[in-house]
Amino acid sequence: MSLQRVTRSTVIDAPIERVWEILRDFNSHLYWHPIIAASEIEDGLAPDQVGCVRNFRLQDGNALREQLLTLDDHKYISTYCILDSTIPLQRYVATVRLKPVTDGRRTFWHWQSTFATPPGRERELADAVGNGVYVAGFTALRAYLLGQRTNAVSAQPAPAPLRNDPLEAQAIVLTARGGAEQLKSVTTSAASPGAGEVRIRQTAVGVNYIDVYVRTGLYAGLVEVGGVPGFEAAGTVIDVGPGVTHILPGDRVAYACPPAGAYTSMRTMSAEQVLRLPDHVSEEQAAALMLKGMTAEYILFRLHRVGAGDIVLIHAAAGGLGMLAAQWAHALGAVVIGTVGSEAKARVARDYCDHVVLNQNGRFADPVLGASAGRGANLIVDGLGEVAREQNMQALAPTGHWVSVGQAAGAWQPIDPAWLGQKSVTFSRPVVFHYTSQPRQLREMATRVFDALRAGTLRPQIARYALSAAATAHLDLESRRTTGQVVLLG
Amino acid sequence: MIKVYTSSVIDAPADAVWSRIRDFNGLPTWHPAIADSRIEQNLPSDRIGCVRNFRRRDGGTIRERLLTLSDYEYECTYAMLESPMGVENYVATLKLTPITDGNRTFTEWSAEFDCAAARERELSQSIGQGVFQGGFDALKAHFAGRR
């Protein structure tokens, strides 16, 4: 039985980094190739794990399993083979190879395979592979790349004269440490981007409790007086500086990272931690989800691995982080007990918590023990801090894990290890930016958050304020008047 | 070791582009920077090991030895023996790949060489953009409007 070779190639009008970002993902075809009805990587492996197996179901009902044999981020090569298939392609090995077209920043895409077929079906199957899969894939990926940019304010690069000019921006500055009234609206400007930088027209800015701590001085080092607070926003790229290849003018993007400076309508910043948004995520959702969603992600998947059998106590379960963490923990099979401060918030939290405890007098431990048949919680997501210290210890199961992600009800006093020893407690005091500092892990975390949004696991409830009303948003957040995720709209 | 890589798309079938560039002695017929060329010792220009001796329009004389010629892979590799450019260990490859979509040609021209550190940028620019892209631009102009 002789092998035949099928080759198709094309040129894609996008930089190679952009095309490779999609093609290197062995599980991406579901999103861009029209013949795929379902795709899954077996055994929960990462799609860039060489040896991983993808399980395809095609629109026509056929099914096949393919294994990743080579993944080369240096030479842009992916090689894979068919393990078993309802289509009689035998000894099928295919290679996707990209090369840069330096003349015009485009990408040459070469797709080639060798395989055998039953006698008499050579031509039919060569056509199915070459045209049905490869050529159709070229067309589809081209449309997918365009589609990713059609939601943008402008799919074209900003006009050249803009590039060297600073652009006017409306920003919020911290005029002194203190109350919300210290946040003032000013007119400023965003410089044209230098090497490695991007300039973003921001349409949605995320407000986080860390911004309150920065303002009051609890975390004073993060923003100087006179500086712009905020760590999270989404918008559209206006222009990029030399060396930036993963995002382009017109792309919809979001970020959650230091340094501060997000409370503004226009920002020039390092492009390293700026991610392109998938089609299904709006800028408002991104500003609501990036920091709080990734915080929930690392708590539930990295710091602790939450699953069925876990009893998870989440404070402020109708708040920005608490809501997302509770929805996600519930979907992972944990029993979720949420505390809230009002009956109105309890009505919201009952939608995704197994038990809701109305915590108006600070005594939640007994109801938590009652809801867990006396066992207590083996994971606490705690944004309260010092005030709730004794109640949390009482509510915790022996060998439980106590994760402190905030201190909304007062700064921590020192904690004595011997005191933790009374229940063999693990106490964690994580910082989200330590989890997101590596671009690869940042992408993984953000992708998991956006996938959970698409799946309906995360259902944010966005409280909207004008950017110029940042002070009001802070006031409402601090006085527990907000439900869900607070976003400032530019 | 400095690496220079330039690539382009020519709107003509690979066979047509290959027949225009295959002749190791044919640079003056298609590359605008080359004034004249001869093969030393009267060897055929597709004999591996033959040396082309050519002059650039700006006056410099260059000698290059043919290392690889593949009519199957549409590929030609050669080493520079002498030149006024101030490079050493210079080996370059010119390669064509058919683009099935539109029956066009993906062209790649790359080189590796050593040079004084201070001249890396200038030489990368003059070789990559001057010689290689200049050649591609001439090919694009030649084939433009022919189909």
8 Å CB contact of A10 and B99: yes
CA-based nearest distance A138→chain B, Å = 9
In a domain, A158, yes or no: no
Q: Which residues of B touch A11 (CB under 8 A)?
A: 9, 99, 101, 104, 106
pLDDT tens readout for residues A129-142: 999 999 999 999 98
In a domain, A154, yes or no: no
In a domain, A160, yes or no: no
Please count the structural domains in chain A. Answer: 3
8 Å CB contact of A108 and B104: no
- Number of neighbours of residue B68 by Cβ within 10 angstroms: 13
Select the residue from A103, A129, A133, A138 to test the B interface by mutation, using most B Cβ atoms within 10 A.
A103
Listed range (A56-65, A140-149, A246-255, B78-87) with the worst mean pLDDT: A140-149
Last residue of a domain, one of A395, A428, A461: A428
Q: Is residue B8 within 8 angstroms of chain A, CB to CB? A: yes
Q: Is residue A112 within 8 angstroms of chain B, CB to CB? A: no
In a domain, A303, yes or no: no
Chain A 301-360, residues with CB within 8 Å of chain B CB atoms: none
Alpha helices in chain B (DSSP H): 14-21, 27-30, 120-125, 133-143
Which residue in the block uniquely carries the two structure tokens 């009267």?
A: B42
Q: Is residue B138 within 8 angstroms of chain A, CB to CB? A: no
Last residue of a domain, one of A428, A454, A481: A428
CATH number at residue A391: 3.40.50.720
In a domain, A470, yes or no: yes
Q: How many CA atoms lie within 13 A of A159 on its CB side?
A: 3
pLDDT value of residue A251: 87
Chain B 54-73, residues with CB within 8 Å of chain A CB atoms: none
CA-based nearest distance A58→chain B, Å = 24
Reported confidence tier of residue B99, pLDDT bands at 50, 70, 90: very high
Kindly state whether residues A81 and A46 are assigned to the same domain. yes
CATH number at residue A111: 3.30.530.20
pLDDT tens readout for residues A75-122: 999 999 999 999 999 999 999 999 999 998 899 999 999 999 999 999
Q: Is residue A196 within 8 angstroms of chain B, CB to CB? A: no
Reported confidence tier of residue A161, pLDDT bands at 50, 70, 90: very low
Q: Is residue B9 within 8 angstroms of chain A, CB to CB? A: yes
Residue A181 has pLDDT above 80, yes or no: yes
8 Å CB contact of A99 and B7: yes
| Option in A99, A135, A138 nearest B108 (CB) | A99
Give the pLDDT mean for B13-39. 96
Kindly state whether residues A448 and A408 are assigned to the same domain. no
**Alpha carbons A286 and A137: distance in angstroms, whole number:** 29
In a domain, A298, yes or no: no
pLDDT tens readout for residues A362-410: 999 999 999 999 999 999 999 999 999 999 999 999 999 999 998 877 7
Last residue of a domain, one of A428, A446, A471: A428
Reported confidence tier of residue A165, pLDDT bands at 50, 70, 90: confident
Kindly state whether residues A223 and A340 are assigned to the same domain. no
CA-based nearest distance A183→chain B, Å = 49
Select the residue from B10, B106, B127, B129 to test the A interface by mutation, using most A Cβ atoms within 10 A.
B106
Q: Chains A, B: CB contacts under 8 A, how many? A: 50
Q: Is residue A139 within 8 angstroms of chain B, CB to CB? A: no
Reported confidence tier of residue A246, pLDDT bands at 50, 70, 90: confident
Q: CA separation (Å) from A33 to A55, A61, A342? A: 14, 15, 48
8 Å CB contact of A110 and B97: yes
Burial A129-154 (b: 16+ CB within 10 A, else e): bbeebbbebbebbbebbeebbebbee
pLDDT value of residue A1: 59
Kindly state whether residues A341 and A381 are assigned to the same domain. yes
Kindly state whether residues A140 and A178 are assigned to the same domain. no
Kindly state whether residues A269 and A330 are assigned to the same domain. no
Kindly state whether residues A27 and A83 are assigned to the same domain. yes
Sign of CA dihedral A421, A424, A430, A435: positive
pLDDT value of residue A23: 95
Give the pLDDT mean for A287-310. 96
Give the pLDDT mean for A44-56. 92
Provide the domain limits for residue A106. 4-145
Cβ B95 vs Cβ B81: under 8 Å: no
pLDDT value of residue A147: 64
**Alpha carbons A314 and A305: distance in angstroms, whole number:** 15
pLDDT value of residue A164: 58
Kindly state whether residues A269 and A398 are assigned to the same domain. no
Residue B27 has pLDDT above 50, yes or no: yes
CATH number at residue A235: 3.90.180.10
Kindly state whether residues A8 and A141 are assigned to the same domain. yes
pLDDT value of residue A31: 83
pLDDT value of residue A43: 92
Kindly state whether residues A101 and A19 are assigned to the same domain. yes
In a domain, A467, yes or no: yes
Q: CA separation (Å) from A131 to A4, A9, A115, A128, A430? A: 15, 11, 15, 6, 51
Token readout for A198 is 């991007």
In a domain, A150, yes or no: no
Kindly state whether residues A249 and A369 are assigned to the same domain. no
Kindly state whether residues A272 and A366 are assigned to the same domain. no
Q: Is residue B103 within 8 angstroms of chain A, CB to CB? A: no
Cβ A299 vs Cβ A293: under 8 Å: no
Reported confidence tier of residue A454, pLDDT bands at 50, 70, 90: very high
